[in-house]
């Protein structure tokens, strides 16, 4: 069940160039939110009539009854968010959407994240611990590594610039590592080309895969259809699904990546 609350900001810090981590106090939301779900944030306060922005859960902090979201400053709305300070209050709707399929009985899982798509995988990594192998792709400067390493020690890194880990794309590592690992499930979130390549590799290896999609959203509850994406129905026929309500997480075979 979604709720709208005015939540106090307890921390809002820049963790990489233009990327911020915001911690919000809410015993209710911290207890209810699931890995892969998101919050719809009012970004303009009382001054600017802006649409809400969807921001995924990064991780919860149960001991502080709080949760953390990670976002990149890209426009007026996220610039407004970056200016909030401890003690400010934020209008938050959530938790929303269909999160990742979690099965605590799985033997081993893989997680593939790129750029801002890394953030939604942090909470999920905590579910599986050292049963998870995590593949993280960055353009340049890595972020959220400490938070991820607290949850699993099996982390592979790539940077396009070669500043850390493998120089190139994280998908370069997947055929060999996933083929050797043979995980029961692969979870993926990040740029479209990266997810498409990951899905192709999983298909070739016969691995189950879930993807978390990013789309522009209006209402966040499935009414406006702004975030519709091309999918397959149960008969394999093309249809459309709402990322905010039917997703953002889908089984890989549900999504038409080229549309």
SS3 call for 192: helix
Q: Domains in the chain, ordered, with CATH?
A: 3-96 (2.40.30.10), 109-254 (3.40.50.80)
Residue 194 backbone phi and psi in degrees, to 5? -65, -45
Q: For residues 80 and 87, what is the distance between their CA atoms, to the nearest angstrom?
A: 15
Q: Which spans in the chain are helix H?
A: 27-32, 76-82, 119-128, 145-149, 174-181, 192-205
The pLDDT score that the predictor gives to residue 238 is 86
The pLDDT score that the predictor gives to residue 246 is 85
**Residuewise pLDDT in 10s, the chain (259 residues):** 578 899 999 999 999 999 999 999 999 999 999 999 999 999 876 666 677 889 999 999 999 999 999 999 998 889 999 999 999 999 999 999 999 999 999 999 999 999 999 999 999 999 999 999 999 999 999 999 999 999 998 999 999 999 999 999 999 999 999 999 999 999 999 999 999 999 999 999 999 999 998 877 666 666 776 777 888 888 778 888 888 888 799 999 998 877 6
The pLDDT score that the predictor gives to residue 3 is 86
The pLDDT score that the predictor gives to residue 229 is 81
């Amino acid at each position: 069940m979604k709720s709208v609350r005015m939540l106090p900001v307890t921390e809002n810090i820049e963790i990489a160039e233009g990327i911020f981590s915001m911690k919000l106090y809410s015993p209710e939301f911290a207890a209810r939110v699931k890995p892969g779900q998101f919050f719809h944030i009012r970004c303009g306060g009382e001054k600017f009539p802006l649409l809400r922005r969807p921001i995924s859960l990064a991780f919860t902090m149960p001991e502080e009854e709080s949760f953390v979201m990670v976002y990149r400053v890209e426009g007026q709305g996220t610039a407004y968010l970056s200016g909030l300070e401890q003690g400010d209050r934020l209008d938050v709707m959530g938790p929303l959407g269909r999160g990742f399929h979690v099965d605590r009985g799985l033997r081993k899982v893989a997680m593939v994240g790129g750029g801002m798509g890394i953030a939604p995988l942090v909470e999920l990594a905590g579910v599986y611990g050292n049963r998870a192998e995590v593949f993280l792709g960055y353009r340049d400067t890595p972020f959220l590594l400490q938070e991820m390493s607290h949850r699993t020690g099996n982390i592979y890194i790539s940077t396009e610039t070669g500043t850390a880990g493998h120089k190139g794309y994280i998908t370069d590592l997947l055929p060999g590592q996933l083929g050797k690992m043979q995980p029961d499930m692969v979870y993926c979130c990040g740029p479209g080309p990266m997810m498409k390549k990951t899905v192709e590799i999983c298909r070739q290896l016969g691995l189950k895969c879930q993807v978390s999609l990013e789309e522009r959203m209006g209402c966040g509850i499935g009414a406006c259809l702004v975030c519709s994406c091309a999918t397959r129905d149960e008969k394999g026929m093309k249809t459309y699904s709402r990322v905010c309500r039917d997703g953002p997480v889908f089984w890989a075979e549900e999504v038409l990546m080229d549309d």
